Every structure is written in structure tokens, then in C-alpha cells.
Amino acid sequence: MSAQPLSASPRLLIPKAEYADGHVPEPSRLEGALENNARLEEQVIQLRSALAKARRDLQGTRAGERRARHNADHDGLTQLPNRRHFETRLEEALAEQMTTRQGLALFFLDLDDFKQVNDIHGHAAGDTLLRVVAARLNQAVRKEDVVCRLGGDEFACLLRGLSQTRQLMQLAAKLFDSVAAPCRLDTCELSVRPSIGIAICPQHGMTSQDLLAHADAAMYRAKREQTGYAFFETPA
């Protein structure tokens, strides 16, 4: 009697549960919980993404505000403080001077015959020269001093703690030499001669308007007499 081969055991098929009417039952509580967790995770991801975008937008807004404040207070060409900002700093220094009595002086600087630079070499060369002058003035004064571009080819320097004639003469000579040094621009070499007017607080004024006006008057005297710099002289 030959042995009969064993047939493979039949696979057990478990039909999907159905109600009598053929309706498939709702997912189990575990399946529902997993689906809820997945939805929550997706919402968390979306919230994190929205929060990150809000932070970027806020940083961009703050950066824009800083740029706007900087642009409002600074000259676009030289990036020096503009006249408005300079006058604010001068008012603050005068208020401080009332209590400290440490001395304060104002330089008003103008470039002689600057118009010829624009006429002969073009406005681009003139703008570059103004930027060079601005940088040289900033390098020649102390960190606590304030250099500004008042407009055109006019600059001003606010000097705290300085009121002695000899000190101011030495600084004026230093600024004159720094600005008047030749400047190489592309294929040409340019140089301009500055005229510097000096006003001292309180001898020549106690207000920003008086000091600026008197330093301006002294500058015109230096220009007229070709002395490089001059102090304001009180009319007799």
C-alpha cells in the first residue's frame, strides 16, 4: 500500500466583519485614536510653520523699521548724520553743557570751489569725492565727536569737552590737512581745499542756531582770507 502524499493545509480566511445588512462597522477606538493623533501632529506642524513665518515677518518688520530710522537720520550719499539728526545731537550736547561745563565747540566746513569738480569731472566724481571727505573727517576726529553732512559740500563737527583755542587750532589744522590731501579717482587725481569756521560755547553762543550761524560766519571769513580756518569774531 503506497503512502498517499499529504495535501497542504487549507488557508484560514477570516471574512471582514459585516452587519447582516452588509454595512461595515466603524473603526475601533484604537484606530480612531491613531487618526486623531495624526491630525493633531499635522496641525502642530502647520502651527509651527505659521509661527516661524510670523517670526520671520516680525524680524523683517523690525529690520525695515531700523532701516527707516537710519535713513531718516542719515545722509544717503555719505551715510553721515544729516542736518536734522546733527541739530538734535547739538541740542542734547548743549543741555549737557549747562550742567557739566566741560566745553563744547562747533566746526563748520565748506569745500572751496567744489562746483568746479562737478563741472569738469562730472557729478559722479563729485559724489565720490564727498564720500572720501566724509570718511576722512570721521577718521580725523574722536569717537565721541559727531560729524555730519549739512548739505551740498558743507559739513559740521560737534566737539564735546573741547574749548581751548590751542586744542581747536590743532584739530582744525589736522582736519584741513586730511581733507586737502590729494584723492585718486579712477584716472584723475583731485584735491579740494576746505574752509573751517569755529564757534565755541558759551563765548560764541548758547543755542544751536547761534553756534551754527557763528561757525558759518567764521567759515566765510576763513574762505575770504584764505586762512584755512578761523574763529568767530564777536562784532565790536
Alpha-carbon span 211 to 97, nearest angstrom: 13
Compute the half-sphere exposure of residue 234: CA atoms within 13 Å on the CB side of its CA.
7
Q: Is-catalytic flag, 153? A: yes
Report how far residue 171's alpha carbon sits from residue 174's, in angstroms, rounded to the nearest whole number.
5
200-235 burial, b for 16+ CB within 10 Å, e for fewer? bbeebbeebebbbbbbbbbbebbbeeeebbbbbeee
Output DSSP code: residue 145: S
Which residue out of 75, 110, 153, 216 is catalytically annotated?
A: 153
Active-site residues: which are they? Answer: 153
